[in-house]
Structure 1
Amino acid sequence: MKKRVLFVCLGNICRSPSAEAVFNGLVKKNGLESDIECDSAGTAGYHEGEPADQRMQSHAIRRGYRLTSVARKFDPEVDFDSFDFIVGMDDDNVNDLQDLASNVGDLNKIFKMTDFCSQGGHYSVPDPYYGGSEGFELVLDILEDACEGLLNEVRGA
């Protein structure tokens, strides 16, 4: 059975679509497309129906990632049942997801992205929306590290 991973940030236009693209790149590189699929969502619906932030897209493209997702709001009625791993980008996202969980099974699916990092020093994936280009690069650096660890976790589950 296919493993399903959902990446979650606040608005679903910077961090979570980037995590989706980086993770999909790893899945493809490892020939696991038939075993693993992923999506992204936001805890807030501010940008529903919009593509990823243009600045985030530009930085991702330079690293070979295409952000193709369209922003949507996390739907607890559907997403907890549809996904095996629900990965928040920071403590606020994780806390919001935990508040939406209706049982222990839901809670056990929630993780924080940086928990999968092999290189220390980052306790969250910071929101780059109001910052400069270095923030978008930092997001991609953290995601590239964390997605490797997450892929190992998903493969072992």
Structure 2
Amino acid sequence: MEKKKILFVCLGNICRSPSAEAVFNGLIERDGLQDFFVVDSAGITDYHAGSPADARMQRHAIKRGYNLTSISRPVDPVTDFREFDMIIGMDNQNIRDLEQLAAGSDAVSKIFKMTDFCNSCNHDEVPDPYYGGDEGFELVLDLLESACKGLLGFLKNQK
């Protein structure tokens, strides 16, 4: 079976998308499915390119057993839209930006919103916790845990 390639995207790739990558990787490792997936994350912007995940996000993720190891990079519209099967944005602006980057190509069909996979979310998007306090980082992890479980269930049902 061919590996399913998933790219998680947020604005700067230092809070939400590296967390989604870590949460999803944790789920597939728990289920012994890591051989069936390639998972990465990227940002709409290159503001933080080359930087690790935000220290506050890392701290909250570690409390839940997730290790954020990715290094920030911007979306590469040529390579990423060709290589990945699913490109999952965290909020409505990320979706609009991704659609603009993919405009005029079939790649638009690869774009999804993270919260569309939530089983128990009452949020329409994963909010950016960057300028907030601890509760924002915890909310992001709550939403990502729900959405990643839903995403994995969705992918298992496709097989």
For the superposition of Structure 1 and Structure 2, which TM-score range results when normalised by the shorter chain? over 0.9
Number of residue equivalences: 157
SS in 1 for 2:130: coil
Question: Which residue of the partner structure matches residue 33 of structure 2?
Answer: 32
Question: Which residue of the partner structure matches residue 93 of structure 1?
Answer: 94
Structure 2 runs not aligned, ≥5 long: none
Question: Which residue of the partner structure matches residue 126 of structure 1?
Answer: 127
**Distance (Å, rounded) in 1 between the aligned partners of 2:78 and 2:116:** 26
State the TM-score, normalized to the length of structure 2: 0.96
Compute the RMSD of aligned alpha carbons. Answer: 0.9
Q: Is the 8 A contact 1:24 1:37 kept in 2?
A: no
Counting aligned pairs with the same residue, the percent is 61
Structure 1 runs not aligned, ≥5 long: none
Runs of 4+ aligned residues of structure 1 deviating over 4 Å after TM superposition are none
State the TM-score, normalized to the length of structure 1: 0.97
SS in 1 for 2:9: strand
**Distance (Å, rounded) in 1 between the aligned partners of 2:103 and 2:131:** 33
**Distance (Å, rounded) in 2 between the aligned partners of 1:17 and 1:102:** 25
SS in 2 for 1:34: helix
Q: Give the C-alpha shift of residue 120 in structure 1.
A: 3.4
SS in 2 for 1:8: strand
Q: Give the C-alpha shift of residue 152 in structure 1.
A: 1.6
Which amino acid is 2:128 matched to?
D
Q: Give the C-alpha shift of residue 127 in structure 1.
A: 0.2
